[in-house]
Amino acid sequence: MRYVYNACIAMNKLSSLFSRLRSYSAWAWYVLLVGAAVAIFWVCTFKIMDRDFWWHITAGEILLKTHTMITTDPFAYTRTDLPYLATHEWLAQMFLYLIYNTGGYVGIILFRGVIACTSVGLLLLLAQKKRFEYVALAVWGIVITKGSFLERPQLFTFVIFAAFLFLAFRFLDAESWRKRLWICGAFIGLELLWVNMHGGAALMGCAIVTFILLQMALRALSAYRRQEHLRIAYLLIGTLVCMGIALILPPNGFSTFTYLTQLLNDKTIAFIAEWQPRAWPLYIFELWPFFVLSISALIIGRKHWLFNGLLLLMTAYLSR
């Protein structure tokens, strides 16, 4: 009996030790998370550098004061009486103007830091395992790509894209129909917000939902829960239809996509440095670790492999 008693005492001590270790691990995670947020915020709170920012906020001021969409270009004398082309960013321009009007330069810089932290935070919420490694990877990614976090409408694309990814993985792992319906509703609402913030960039939202649909269609090929997966596929098709309607609801309607087509086919792109694809040596040198890690995770994890593979291909193409 004494040996049993001693064994129980030892087990209790071990249990207490493991509890403390888990507690320390949780505290270490929170400290690391706060440290990462501070680092990301610091990296992304540099001075205002984008020259387009000034006409973006001026456009927002015009929109708020006139309560009408800008139809003719008010900025360039070479485009007098010609159509204003940035109607697809009208909502982002108003937001940027309101932030600048309220907080000035400092407000815009702080807002940029908040957007960066929120975008990364949404992705880290998906990292339930190996989260310490993911935090380091996230900070490294922000350091490399901080030049993209300029005070432009694309800031809203970063955070909405991260929100789409967060919801997409939640949908893939969801077990209840209520949760799936809620997420599909969120997809539609975010798509409507996105197309008014940054125009054609919202097509990435449709692409993400399409990738989920293909993943569910692949699951439906198996005999296990085939009918349920087919029903989920039909739900996603309906969601895509509603998202397609949301894409043409903004004030500029179809012109969002005609403008995108014209822009990509414009021959003057060859003379605009920021529109040039990144040179292959620099591109490979900067990003090869991300692709190695992504492909390795895809092979090892083997979870939602079709969705993850298509997502990786899309982001790899757009990153250049």
What pLDDT digit, counting tens, does each position of 202-233 carry? 999 999 999 999 998 888 887 667 788 888 99
Closest CA to 205 of 151, 237, 165: 165
Check residue 21 and give its pLDDT. Answer: 41
Q: Is the pLDDT of residue 57 over 80?
A: yes
Q: Is the pLDDT of residue 23 over 80?
A: no
Residue 66, CB-side half-sphere exposure with 13 Å CA sphere:
11
Residues 290 and 304: their CA atoms lie apart, in Å, by: 19
More confident residue, 59 or 280: 59
What is the distance between the terminal CA atoms of the chain, rounded to a whole angstrom? Answer: 71
Q: To which residue do tokens 């399409």 refer?
A: 210
More confident residue, 109 or 296: 109
Helix, coil or strand: residue 289: helix
Least confident stretch, 13-17, 96-100, 120-124: 13-17
Residues 6+ apart with CB under 8 A from 220: 226, 229, 230, 233
* Average pLDDT in the chain: 83
Residue 277, CB-side half-sphere exposure with 13 Å CA sphere:
11
Lookup: tokens for 145: 């790509």
How many percent of the chain have pLDDT more than 90? 35
Q: Is the pLDDT of residue 9 over 50?
A: no
Mean pLDDT of 111-136: 83
Burial classification of residue 85, based on how many CB atoms lie within 10 Å of its CB (0-12 exposed, 13-18 middle, 19 or more buried): middle
pTM value? 0.86
